[in-house]
Structure 1
């Protein structure tokens, strides 16, 4: 029975989805990942009714003088003149805006926490070009003060990625920025798929070329990716042969190959750091060669040049509003990048890649919207909010749960003091799964242990 169950788990090669414990029987059998399952539990909270707000639903619609109601962690109704259930918290939304919580698809909080000192910089395993075996969640420091700043900026979900010094940086993890968590698992978004961070361009070439090792060029990068996926195909075939025949010992477990096999089998999302249009096009050719899908290109400074290709391939682009030109591969950026990708019908996203930028992603989207309008694009603020919630939810595989204000979805909701696409707005209330996690001007969350500091007490 155990062998049949284990074979079924390996058949999916998602491995994270299997939920039985391994034993000493069959030491080479691939153990499950039950130890890393989310232990996040939504906090209990009273029903909430927000009355009379301007609502941006994350699907591109804006509704005036509208109520939003949620209970037991989920949105229950959106409309006018809703009736509050008994014991509900009533929030006056007149003159305010309500949106889905911001989702940052590219963050390094926890793995590059504040304060930025060598002892806490845990995001880049710069020991070999392929470190697909490492997981960002094993470096996350839950006490990072950056989490509290992010939630104060309206962020309810963030995808934590390893750094970009390697061809294969490792697996990413999706978290809620809740405070007071003792472990990463207590922050982990339940059911969110893992990702694999890959990097193209100058970063891996610079890191390893300076060591007189491969890769040192773009062609070395491409060869490294292709060889790794070729090895992963062989790994898959060995397991396939074992599953079909069931004879002898199973293949040895290889953590690096498990990750790459998960990408090939569609169980692990691929998030690819890439700036230049030609390099993104090359990455797409590799995906065709080995039969996998790229969920998103990150930074994607030249995404506007291949927006039609991104649309055809159903690949999202995570971009900055106006951060470019700081190295050669980022030189050909334009301020209209995000709106041009959006106007072409592709999946555009705003991301931070910064412990500072994550605090004002709403303003970054506002800048991009304004640049698009000046270029002649009629982009509404309701459309622009898609870049902050719906599209990121799609790119990291959680759109069925959050990203839009839709009845039945998780109540990840932000109440803003004013139009959130302007510099005048601040987040007044932030709800995660229907529970209030931030209220401006009030202490609703425990502070990071690091920020509490230490006091001296004389020993006697």
Structure 2
């Protein structure tokens, strides 16, 4: 307990607020002026449960309670959702909105810094254009959070950013508070095609792997240089040698800094990779350099090593049925997502990689669910919803904040007009941090970009 101060004591000097770190989030959830109780809905929690005739109460941007027969607090707004379904807000872990925005003109193509096979120093957020109309279209499809990634021309294309799907003038005001950045890597045809055609390494898959290994080997040396500097600095600051001069720090290298951060777990690795043999190579690469792959993206052959992915805690961020558009995407099965999900600990995710697909993630999940059921797997809606909510949040490292409807988590919520796995499903209302961001019944209040066509 702090001791009482005498009445004539001078006022304490205010402590200055800490300066905001460069490029950090400035997002703040708006005030929710009254509690909201959604009543009598079919609720898919995202954590594996289904509640028929369920209620959901949220206040001050957070979920307060979920169950049946909840009482409305004084002054609460009550939403009758009889006949409708409620889910967590959808999460797309692979989007290029804002960096490849619409209108799709050359001046807007900011997703690939294809000047070198390894451009780990670039950040996709520095290209992100918040006025992309695609954000609004995604919101209408129930998407509340997304990871914006660089493209896949490079072996290592740079850092991605996780954002809230809210209107803002700057990307910093969309940036998900506390979310780690991602590191985009790419296997296979893309990098060897882009750079081999320029007579610049890599031009083969073995050149790809050598490129990753050299980049991470250089980053390990960089980490050692900083470790050595910090040890010398500690000696200097301890004044063990009074006449010593301060050590000179190594020159900052933004490329190696990012790779070091990935090896230290501060940046999450998201790996574009189609073939099972290449995914196995990348898992070995991760073991060699001591980092964890958060998710393989696209992974058309992920079903071939679903057990290993589950054992090593790696998610598969996959399409329901995209295949055959290049040779490495040929050996596909439409049960891929279901097979990756089914091993104990399996983590399947439905992603878009598309400004159109992001508008119907629920339907893409429905296709994958149907194929799994036809293959004899038990996949009820309460399991499949995790593919676009909780599992996606896990791969982005934000599962403690969002991705499921649990007390204390962000009130990122979608009210659907019916079963979200129906082709006729529409998002009626979308809440982000408890604030109504989209209401289909009020067209005039819906956000509209100045660049909507």
TM-score (normalised: structure 1): 0.90
Once the two structures are TM-superposed, the CA of residue 83 in structure 1 deviates from its matched residue by 1.4
> Which residue does the alignment assign to 2:241?
none
Alpha-carbon distance between aligned partners in 1 of 2:285 and 2:68, rounded to the nearest angstrom: 50
Once the two structures are TM-superposed, the CA of residue 245 in structure 1 deviates from its matched residue by 1.4
Secondary structure of 1:403's counterpart equals coil
> Which residue does the alignment assign to 2:348?
348
Alpha-carbon distance between aligned partners in 1 of 2:73 and 2:171, rounded to the nearest angstrom: 35
Once the two structures are TM-superposed, the CA of residue 328 in structure 1 deviates from its matched residue by 0.2
Alpha-carbon distance between aligned partners in 2 of 1:215 and 1:157, rounded to the nearest angstrom: 34
Q: Residue by residue, what CA displacement relative to the aligned partner does 1:143-162 show, whole Å, maximum 9, x if unpaired?
A: 00000000000000000000
**Alignment counterpart, residue 41 of structure 1, candidates 16, 28, 47:** 28
Once the two structures are TM-superposed, the CA of residue 321 in structure 1 deviates from its matched residue by 0.4
Task: Tell me the number of residue pairs that the alignment of Structure 1 and Structure 2 aligns.
Answer: 422
- Whether 2:249 is the aligned partner of 1:250: answer yes
- Whether 2:176 is the aligned partner of 1:177: answer no
> Which residue does the alignment assign to 2:183?
196
Once the two structures are TM-superposed, the CA of residue 449 in structure 1 deviates from its matched residue by 2.1
Alpha-carbon distance between aligned partners in 1 of 2:342 and 2:409, rounded to the nearest angstrom: 27
Structure 1: stretches of 5+ with no match in the other structure? 1-18, 22-32, 454-460
- Which structure has the greater CA radius of gyration? 2
> Which residue does the alignment assign to 1:449?
450
Alignment of 1:59-78 (within 5 A): 59-78=47-66
Once the two structures are TM-superposed, the CA of residue 445 in structure 1 deviates from its matched residue by 4.1
Once the two structures are TM-superposed, the CA of residue 87 in structure 1 deviates from its matched residue by 2.4
Asked whether the 8 Å contact 1:265–1:292 carries over to 2, the reply is yes
Once the two structures are TM-superposed, the CA of residue 390 in structure 1 deviates from its matched residue by 0.3
- Whether 2:361 is the aligned partner of 1:381: answer no
Alpha-carbon distance between aligned partners in 2 of 1:412 and 1:310, rounded to the nearest angstrom: 29
Structure 1 residues 282-291 or 247-256, which shifts more? 247-256
Asked whether the 8 Å contact 1:195–1:269 carries over to 2, the reply is yes
Alpha-carbon distance between aligned partners in 1 of 2:76 and 2:431, rounded to the nearest angstrom: 14
Structure 1 residues 243-252 or 183-192, which shifts more? 243-252
Alpha-carbon distance between aligned partners in 2 of 1:339 and 1:264, rounded to the nearest angstrom: 30
- Whether 2:133 is the aligned partner of 1:145: answer yes
Alpha-carbon distance between aligned partners in 2 of 1:378 and 1:85, rounded to the nearest angstrom: 39
Q: Residue by residue, what CA displacement relative to the aligned partner does 1:290-342 show, whole Å, maximum 9, x if unpaired?
A: 11100000001100000011011100000000011110000001100000111
Alpha-carbon distance between aligned partners in 2 of 1:385 and 1:405, rounded to the nearest angstrom: 12
Asked whether the 8 Å contact 1:74–1:433 carries over to 2, the reply is yes
Asked whether the 8 Å contact 2:148–2:160 carries over to 1, the reply is yes
User: What is the RMSD computed on CA atoms of the aligned residues?
Assistant: 1.2
Alignment of 1:59-458 (within 5 A): 59-179=47-167, 181-246=168-233, 247-345=246-344, 346-442=346-442, 443-451=444-452
TM-score (normalised: structure 2): 0.92
Alpha-carbon distance between aligned partners in 1 of 2:24 and 2:332, rounded to the nearest angstrom: 40
Alpha-carbon distance between aligned partners in 1 of 2:440 and 2:170, rounded to the nearest angstrom: 26
Alpha-carbon distance between aligned partners in 2 of 1:323 and 1:220, rounded to the nearest angstrom: 27
Asked whether the 8 Å contact 1:324–1:330 carries over to 2, the reply is yes
Alpha-carbon distance between aligned partners in 1 of 2:395 and 2:164, rounded to the nearest angstrom: 16
After TM superposition, the runs of 4+ consecutive aligned structure 1 residues lying more than 4 A away are none
Asked whether the 8 Å contact 2:39–2:78 carries over to 1, the reply is yes
Structure 2: stretches of 5+ with no match in the other structure? 1-16, 234-245
Alpha-carbon distance between aligned partners in 2 of 1:444 and 1:155, rounded to the nearest angstrom: 18
Once the two structures are TM-superposed, the CA of residue 20 in structure 1 deviates from its matched residue by 6.7
Once the two structures are TM-superposed, the CA of residue 177 in structure 1 deviates from its matched residue by 1.4
Q: Residue by residue, what CA displacement relative to the aligned partner does 1:381-436 show, whole Å, maximum 9, x if unpaired?
A: 10000101000000011001000000000000000000001111100000000000
Asked whether the 8 Å contact 2:103–2:451 carries over to 1, the reply is no
Asked whether the 8 Å contact 2:439–2:446 carries over to 1, the reply is no
> Which residue does the alignment assign to 1:7?
none
